[in-house]
Structure 1
Amino acid sequence: MFVVDSVLTHLPQACRRIVVKHRELLKFGIVGATTFFIDTAIFYVLKWTVLEPKPVTAKVFAVLVATIVSYVLNREWSFRERGGRERHHEASLYFLVSGIAVALYAAPLWISRYVLLLQTPYTGRLTEEIADFTSGQIIGLLLGMAFRWWAFRRWVFPDDGEPPRQSGEPPSPRSETVSSS
C-alpha cells in the first residue's frame, strides 16, 4: 500500500473527496514546501557568507537549485499523469517558465532593497532581515508559485490525455476510426 493510500484511509470521507479532487494541487504544494526549505536554506547560507553584499544574486542561485529539485519532483510525482511531450521538450519548457518565475521571485527583494532602501545603512539590521524574508521568501514565493502553477499546467504538463513519454519514444497513436468501404 502506498503512503498516500494509507493517509487517505484515515481521512473522513468528505475530506478524502476534496483531497482526491485536488491531489495534483496538493502534490504541487508539497513539492513547493520542500523546495521552499531548500531555497530558504541556500539563500540564507549564501547571504550570510560568500554573497553577503549581493543578496539578489544569492536569491537567484537559491531559486535555481530549488528549481532543479522541483522539476524532478513535479515530473515524477505531481504531474506524473500529465504530458505526452518528449522529456527534453518538457524540460526546456519547464526551465523557460521557471526562468520567468525566477524574475518574479527576485523582483520583490530587488524592490525592497534598491527602491524602498530597506537595507543597512538606511535601516536597522532587524528591519533589513524582516524585509528580506518578507519580500524574498513570502511575496516572491507567492508570485512565482502562482505563475508556475498556471504555466506548468498550461504549457509544460498539459493534460492531453496521453501518458508522458521518454525522449525518442514515438507519440502514442490516437484512436483511429476505421471506415468500411
Structure 2
Amino acid sequence: MVGRRLRRVSGEIARFSAVNVVATIIALIIFNLLVHGVKGWFDGPGHDRPLTVYLIANSVGMFVSYYGSRYYAFRHRHAAGPGGGLLIYVVINLTSFVIPISCLWISRNVFEWSSIYADNIAGNVVGAILGNIFRFYFFRRFVFTKHPTGVRPKQVPAEPQA
C-alpha cells in the first residue's frame, strides 16, 4: 500500500516538476528580456521595475503551468471548482508569488544585488523552489483532488473485533 502510494505521489511530483520547468523557462525568458534585455541589442525596458516584470512573466508561466498540470501532471485527478479548478489555481498561484517576490525583494533591497545572476538566483532558483513546494501541496489538496468536488467518500466504521 505504501509502495503504491509513494510511486503515485513521486510520479505526480515528477510530472508536476516537468510542467514547472517548462513554465519557469518561459517566465525566465520573459523576465530576463524585459529586465535585462539582450546585451548589444537592447536594454531591458523594465530594469527599474523587476517586481512588476516578475509578476507579468510569471503570470504567463502560470497559465502554461495550469494547462500542463490539468492535462498532464494531475490528469488522473478531478479538478475542483469553477473553470476546471482554474479560479482556485490562480488564487493559489498569486498567493505563492509572495515567496519568490520576497526573495527577489530581499536580494535587491536588503543586499542591494541587482545583477542578472542575483535576480535569477533569488527569484528563479531559491524563490521558485520554495514556491513549487508550496504550490504542489496546495494544488494537490484543493485544485486537483482525489475525489470529485474534493469530498471524500463516507468511511464505513470497521466491525468491532470479538
Q: Do both share a fold (TM > 0.5)?
A: yes
Structure whose alpha-carbon radius of gyration is higher: 1
Query: Which residue does the alignment assign to 1:59?
Result: 54
Q: 1:108 aligns with which of 103, 110, 127?
A: 103
Q: CA deviation at 1:87?
A: 4.3
Stretches (4+) displaced over 3 A: 18-21
Q: CA deviation at 1:21?
A: 6.2
Change (3 A) 1:103 1:77: same
Query: Which residue does the alignment assign to 1:39?
Result: 27
**Quick one: distance in 1 between partners of 2:9 and 2:98?**
31
Equivalent residue letter for 2:112: L
1:135 equivalenced with 2:130 (yes/no) = no
**Quick one: distance in 1 between partners of 2:53 and 2:80?**
33
Query: Which residue does the alignment assign to 2:13?
Result: 25
Q: 2:94 aligns with which of 83, 96, 99?
A: 99
**Quick one: distance in 1 between partners of 2:75 and 2:49?**
37
Q: How does 1:66-85 map to 2 (within 5 A)?
A: 66-83=61-78, 85=80
% identical aligned pairs: 27
- Over the aligned positions, Cα root-mean-square deviation in angstroms equals 2.4
Q: CA deviation at 1:22?
A: 2.3
Q: Secondary structure at the match of 1:104?
A: helix
State how many pairs are aligned: 141
Task: Note the residue ranges of structure 2 that are not aligned, 5 or more in a row.
Answer: 1-5, 37-43, 155-162
Change (3 A) 1:101 1:84: closer
1:90 equivalenced with 2:90 (yes/no) = no
Q: CA deviation at 1:163?
A: 9.5
When the two structures are superposed, what TM-score results if normalisation uses the length of structure 1? 0.70
Q: CA deviation at 1:85?
A: 2.7
Equivalent residue letter for 1:80: R
Q: Is the 8 A contact 1:108 1:140 kept in 2?
A: yes
Equivalent residue letter for 2:95: I
Task: Note the residue ranges of structure 1 that are not aligned, 5 or more in a row.
Answer: 1-17, 120-127, 165-173, 176-181
**Quick one: distance in 1 between partners of 2:144 and 2:137?**
10
**Quick one: distance in 2 between partners of 1:103 and 1:34?**
21
Q: Is the 8 A contact 1:82 1:163 kept in 2?
A: no
